[in-house]
Structure formats: C-alpha cells, structure tokens
Amino acid sequence: MDKKFFNRVEKKYLIDKPQEATIKKEIKKHMKKDEYFRSKVFNIYFDTDNYDLIIQSIDNPFFKEKLRARSYEGYDKVFLEIKTKIRGAAYRTKFLREKGLLKDNNFGYKRRVLITKKDFNELVSGKTSIIELASRKIETPADLQIAKEVDYIIKNLNLKPKILVYYDRESFTGENSLRITFDKNLRYRNKNIRFLKKNSDETFFKNEKNIIMEIKAGGVMPLWLVKLLSAEHVYPTHFSKIGKIYEKLRKEKNV
C-alpha cells in the first residue's frame, strides 16, 4: 500500500451484479485476493474554485493531471497523489507499439507522498507545507522531489479540497502486475470535506450497472481475461468518478 510510483495501462468497465459474479468466478482461477482485499476508499480531490482541473479532465485531452488525497477506513495514513494520464500523443506511439498496447489505451502514472491524517489537516489549514511534512521523514530520495511537485501544483494553481468521493472496493492481483478492482456504493459530497462518511452523502448510481470494474496492467491483458470480457459482452468505457460526479453536481447546480 506504500508504493510511490505507478506506471500502467488502465481500463474501466460498468457492470451489473450478474456480470460481476461470473467475472469473479473466473478471476479466482487465475488471480488471488489482494493483501487488502476489502477496503473503503476515501478520495479528496483538489481543484480551483472554478473546478478547472476536473473540467479539463472531462474534455479528455492528450495530457491531464489531477491532485487527490487518498485514505482508507481504519487507516491513519494519507497518500497525497499526483495522477497523470497521457492519451494518443504522437511521442508515445512507438513505445505503445513495442509494448503491444492497443492504440486507444490510456497510459497512466502517479507519484505520491505518504503522510498522516493529522499532517493532512495541518496542510489544508495552511499550518504547514507538504515539503516540510516530507522533510520530517524521507524514506527514499524521490520523496522530497515528489513533495516539491505537489507543493508547486497546490500553490501555482491555488488548489483546495473540493469534492470527497468514497466507495467499497474489492481487489485481485495476478501475474505481470495485473490488478482488477470492483468498486461499488459510490458516494460523494462537496461540503465539509474530511475523511468521514455522513448519512446525508449523495449516492451516485441509480441504475443496475452500478459496479465499476477497473483493470490495471503493466502490459497487455492475458488471453483468458480478453475471452472472458468478450463472452460477457463487457466493453471498456470512459468513466471518471470525479468527472461524472462533477457533471451531476453541475446539473443540480451544486457547483
């Protein structure tokens, strides 16, 4: 859970409960439960007062970047992450071809700094900086550099915690960095942004396809998984949790 660099291909799918059951049955033949198999994931997204980062992300540009703080229920640590995605840029065509990746894949990577929830509260209240927090306990030489990136983005764009998103997750891991997650019970709020759930929080999904399956791989997907998705008529979709929630909030005139 404390890995600081991620470099992988990511695909998302919206599925219903029968599809989830069938897919999990096959997955268990080839993969194992993650060390943290079941978790409740909390994400606090930073943005400008005009939500510029989210709006840019919705436009699906070649390059997009977002800053979020992630924590887990019952866990005192917070991962402050810069998440970057590159889509269809000419300079990476050769790389994708050599790796055997499909042309329409999103190639994503993220860098993150690990701090405590107390540290995070001090950071957002302006009592300290991420550079100061990272300096207190540097685990690798890269920590301070990542902290400087985070600090620059926050100050240069004047970012603040804007939306809390959380959900229940089940995670499976396999060979060649393959990871499959199932996220359900997606909820959110854009006021009183803290790592706490409230009964008044909004539920996002109102339909049957309310499970977000995400496949993350260091290269191509294994053949058994490709055949499984084809048999179940499960196809990738562009689904950003924060993007869809922002669109819903905007429609309801809550942002």
Residue in the block written with tokens 């499909």: 102
Domains of the chain by residue range: 5-251
Q: Average of pLDDT values for 137-158?
A: 84
As beta bridge partners, residue 205 has none
Per-residue confidence (pLDDT) for residue 157, from 0 to 100:
93
- Residue 247 CA to residue 16 CA, distance in Å, equals 22
Per-residue confidence (pLDDT) for residue 145, from 0 to 100:
86
Residue 21 has pLDDT above 70, yes or no: yes
Residue 155 has pLDDT above 60, yes or no: yes
What DSSP string describes the chain? ----EEEEEEEEEEE-HHHHHHHHHHHHHH-EEEEEEEEEEEEEEEE-TT-HHHHHHHT--SEEEEEEEEEETT--EEEEEEEEEE-S-GGGHHHHHHHT--TT-EEEEEEEEEEEHHHHHHHHTTSS-HHHHHHHS-SSTHHHHHHHHHHHHHHHHT-EEEEEEEEEEEEEE-STT-EEEEEEEEEEESSS-SS---TTPEE---SS--EEEEEEESSSPPHHHHHHHHHTT---B---HHHHHHHHHHHTT--
Confidence of residue 95 (pLDDT cuts 50, 70, 90): very low
Q: Average of pLDDT values for 41-60?
A: 93
Confidence of residue 34 (pLDDT cuts 50, 70, 90): very high
Per-residue confidence (pLDDT) for residue 83, from 0 to 100:
85
CATH architecture of 5-251: Alpha-Beta Barrel (3.20)
What's this model's pTM, rounded to 2 decimal places?
0.86
Residue 103 tokens read as 């042309």
